[in-house]
Amino acid sequence: MAPLMKQARMRRTITGFSNPTVKYLRSLREKKHRKREGKFLAEGLRLLTDAREGGRLPEMLVMSAARDPHPLLEALENAVEDAGGEIVETPPEILSKITGKDNPQAVAGVFCEFDTSIDKIDRSRAPIWLVAQALRDPGNLGTMLRTGDAVGAGGLILIDDCADPFSVEAVRASMGAIFTQQIAQASWEEFLPWLRSGAGQLVAASLRDARPYRQAPYVAPCFILVGNESRGLPEEYEMACDLRVTMPMRGRADSLNAAIAGAVLAYEVLATLEA
C-alpha cells in the first residue's frame, strides 16, 4: 500500500488559472520573484533527466495532464517523490501559461538556485572556463553554457551586470547545461584577484595588440573572456588579459556575435590543449 499512500499525500491536480500555485510558478519568469524565492523554472523531460542524473531534483514537478507515458518521466516522478518533493498535474493550457511557450513541454520543474559565489569554483576541475562580461542576452548566455558543456569547460563566470542565468530563456537555450556547468557571478574587482590567486590564463578576442587566434600559446586552465554584445570588452579588461587574439574578419563587420566568438575560440583552445 505504501506507493498509493505516497501518491495520495503528494499529488495535486490544478485546473484553475487563478490557483495560487499557478501564480507562484508564473511569477518565477520574473527575475525579482526568482531572487526573492531563490527558485527557478526548467522545462522538458530531457533537461530534467539531465538534472536528475547530475544529482539535481526539482522540489516541485509540474506535469501536463496530456503527457504520454515515458520510462524517463516515471523515473523522474519516482525520484521527486522519494526525495519528498511535490508533484502537480495540470492541463497543457496552464503549463503553457507557466512556461510562456505555445507548445509546452510535458513537464517542468522548480529548482533551488545554486550558490554562484566565485570562491565555489575549483579551477583545477577543467582545462577551459568561459567568462562573460555584461552579457545582456539570456539566449546568448544559455548558448555559452551549452557550448561550455560541449568543449568540456568547467563552467561560466559572469562578470559585472549580465543577464540572469536562471531566466527561462537562458535555461532553455542551455539545453541542460545549466545543470552540468558551474556558474559564478562576480564583479571585475572580485574576479581579477580571484583569478590571480592561482593558475589561469585569461584570453580575449581583441583587435588591440593581438595575435592570430590559431596556434596561439593557450595553456590550461584557460579562461576565455567574451564582452558585451554591443560594446565589447572595456579596454582595461582587455589589457589585463594574458593573451589577446584576433579572428579573421573577411567582410564588412568588425565583430562576431558574442556567443559565436566564444565558441570559435573555445574550440581552438580545446584543439591546442589536446594536441
Which residues of this chain interact with a copy of itself, rule CB under 8 A? 50, 54, 139, 143, 146-152, 173, 175-177, 180, 214, 247-253, 255-257, 259-260, 263-264, 267, 270-271, 274
Task: In whole angstroms, give the CA distance from residue 246 to residue 259.
Answer: 15
Find the distance separating the first CA and the last CA of the chain, reported in whole Å. 59
Q: How far is the CB of 50 from a copy of itself (least distance, A)?
A: 6
Q: How far is the CB of 192 from a copy of itself (least distance, A)?
A: 27
Q: How far is the CB of 210 from a copy of itself (least distance, A)?
A: 15
Q: How far is the CB of 4 from a copy of itself (least distance, A)?
A: 35
Of 12 and 214, which CB lies nearer to a copy of itself in the complex structure? 214
Task: In whole angstroms, give the CA distance from residue 101 to residue 169.
Answer: 11
Cell 568543449 found at = 151
Of 88 and 156, which CB lies nearer to a copy of itself in the complex structure? 156
Task: In whole angstroms, give the CA distance from residue 260 to residue 226.
Answer: 10
Cell 549580465 found at = 162
Task: In whole angstroms, give the CA distance from residue 25 to residue 21.
Answer: 6
Of 87 and 130, which CB lies nearer to a copy of itself in the complex structure? 130
Task: In whole angstroms, give the CA distance from residue 243 to residue 201.
Answer: 8
Cis status, amide bond into 221, omega within 30 of 0: yes
Task: In whole angstroms, give the CA distance from residue 29 to residue 25.
Answer: 8
Of 179 and 223, which CB lies nearer to a copy of itself in the complex structure? 179
| CA 14 vs CA 19, 47, 94, 160: distances in Å | 7, 23, 9, 40
Q: How far is the CB of 170 from a copy of itself (least distance, A)?
A: 13
Of 50 and 160, which CB lies nearer to a copy of itself in the complex structure? 50
Of 209 and 274, which CB lies nearer to a copy of itself in the complex structure? 274
Q: How far is the CB of 91 from a copy of itself (least distance, A)?
A: 24
